[in-house]
Copies of this chain bind each other. A is one copy, B any other.
Amino acid sequence: MTAVDFTHDPNRRSWVTSAGSGDFPLQNLPFGVVAGADGEPRGVVRIGDTALHLSGLAASGLLTGEAQAAAEAAAGGTLNTLFALGSGPRTALRRALHALLIEGAPHQEAVAALLTPLRDVDVLLPARIGDYTDFYVGIHHARSVGALFRPDDPLLPNYKWVPIGYHGRASSVRVSSAPVIRPHGQLKAPDAPAPVLAPTRRLDFELELGVWIGPENRLGTPVRIDHAESHIAGFCLLNDWSARDVQAWEYQPLGPFLAKNFGTTVSPWVLTPEALAPFRIPFDRPEGDPAPLPYLDSPRHRASGGLDIELQVRISTARMRADGQQPHPITRSSSRHMYWTFAQLVTHHTSNGCNLQPGDLLGSGTLSGPDAGSEGSLLELSRGGTDPITLPSGETRTFLEDGDEITLSARAHRPGAATIGFGECVAVIDPAITYP
């Protein structure tokens, strides 16, 4: 686990004015990739509403040692090389950036010259994704969705033993703000003799956290639970768009495929494990649940394997936007509802020797809470499409309509720590194409 140190001190402020409020104070400093007017993608660190260009910083002579190595690694068009370096150089760069961005820091003029307002750049996908794996660690989601698909058998016997996961599609992962086109798929009504190909009528979001993988493990080499976090480069929000009608018809016996792989949206800012250090919590299990198998368990992991991050989903319909209404919160949840931690996911994923590589993406699975208002998907919010939710505009929704915009957000806060956030993971639903 990463230690809490002076870079987390909530009393410290940055001389970058916009860092004084919002998700991106001095204590956060997430990585990302942006392209300016020249279209060239460049690695940056976000502070307030600005992006600090790491190529410029690497050329400035203001960094030394591991911090310089990290800035050089992040200077290119993707963060894969930075991710591969692991926590040492990343932490060194965090400390160096802290020293340069804190109130009263030296070299402010030189550093200010490397800052670009985010309104002047395009924010891009932060890494070249080799493989994308999606898990299923939201036990409340698993139970309530299971009840819809398999009323007699909502939570399968393996759930409390196996961190269930499946491979998703890397090529269709897009960064926040890229629209999602309503996909076609085979739909079959229970009483219909045959399926039809048509635009999905049950398009849904899924509220997830993602992690970006850092240093690789070689094929054939499992990662032990106490080393698992050293393979995590950072965190993001992830929306695992899902076509529920397609999923219901196609998913047996090999799992979801076209119901999911038309698009996945991630937030652009890579929050580091270092930034999230103050928000670690013990990992535990409800009374009566089995302990994880030994390979997924350790004293250190039990002490601090969990994460406490508040999650929110808001919806905005086309009519709401036309009427000037704000996006409406429909879900508030938490990373506390993860039945398995990301460390356990890394260890389980590699337990058969499977190799994870820098820039690989893991999704948590839908992070629903146990209570009404904490459901991480419309499938749950609308009880399988039977019970529409009503929006302040008077509109109702069971599933997403064209023009609906879904915004995921996440924030970590606790007494004695500076609040930090993930920014937004947002996308609007575009109408289906004419096909075939």
A181 and B255 within 8 A (CB): no
Q: A30-49 vs B: 1/0 string, CB under 8 Å?
A: 00000000000000000000
Chain B hits for A219, CB < 8 A: 171-172, 174, 181, 262-263
Chain B hits for A355, CB < 8 A: 171-172
Chain B residue nearest to A365 in the complex (CB): B254
A131 and B222 within 8 A (CB): no
Q: How many copies does the complex hold?
A: 2
CA distance A162 to B196 in the complex (A): 11
Say yes or no: is A166 at the interface (Cβ < 8 Å to chain B).
Answer: yes
Q: A123-159 vs B: 1/0 string, CB under 8 Å?
A: 0000000110000100000000010011000001010
A295 and B197 within 8 A (CB): yes
Say yes or no: is A224 at the interface (Cβ < 8 Å to chain B).
Answer: yes
Chain B hits for A243, CB < 8 A: 352
The verdict on A130 contacting B352 (CB below 8 Å), with A250-B164, A433-B220 known, is no
Chain B hits for A168, CB < 8 A: 167
Chain B residue nearest to A347 in the complex (CB): B436
Say yes or no: is A210 at the interface (Cβ < 8 Å to chain B).
Answer: no
Say yes or no: is A386 at the interface (Cβ < 8 Å to chain B).
Answer: no
CA distance A221 to B183 in the complex (A): 10
Q: A100-137 vs B: 1/0 string, CB under 8 Å?
A: 00000000000000000000000000000011000010
Say yes or no: is A373 at the interface (Cβ < 8 Å to chain B).
Answer: no
B354 and A196 within 8 A (CB): no
Say yes or no: is A2 at the interface (Cβ < 8 Å to chain B).
Answer: no
Chain B hits for A164, CB < 8 A: 250, 253-254, 257
B170 and A131 within 8 A (CB): yes
CA distance A242 to B170 in the complex (A): 22
The verdict on A185 contacting B436 (CB below 8 Å), with A161-B195, A168-B167, A251-B253 known, is no
Q: Which residues, 188 to 230 on A, are CB-close (under 8 Å) to B?
A: 188, 194-197, 219-222, 224
Chain B hits for A295, CB < 8 A: 197, 435-436
The verdict on A166 contacting B167 (CB below 8 Å), with A156-B253, A194-B161 known, is yes
Chain B hits for A263, CB < 8 A: 219, 353
Chain B residue nearest to A142 in the complex (CB): B253
B433 and A353 within 8 A (CB): yes
- A interface with B by C-beta (< 8 Å): 130-131, 136, 146, 149-150, 156, 158, 161-162, 164-172, 174, 181, 183-186, 188, 194-197, 219-222, 224, 243, 246, 249-258, 261-263, 290, 293-295, 348-349, 351-357, 360, 433, 435-436
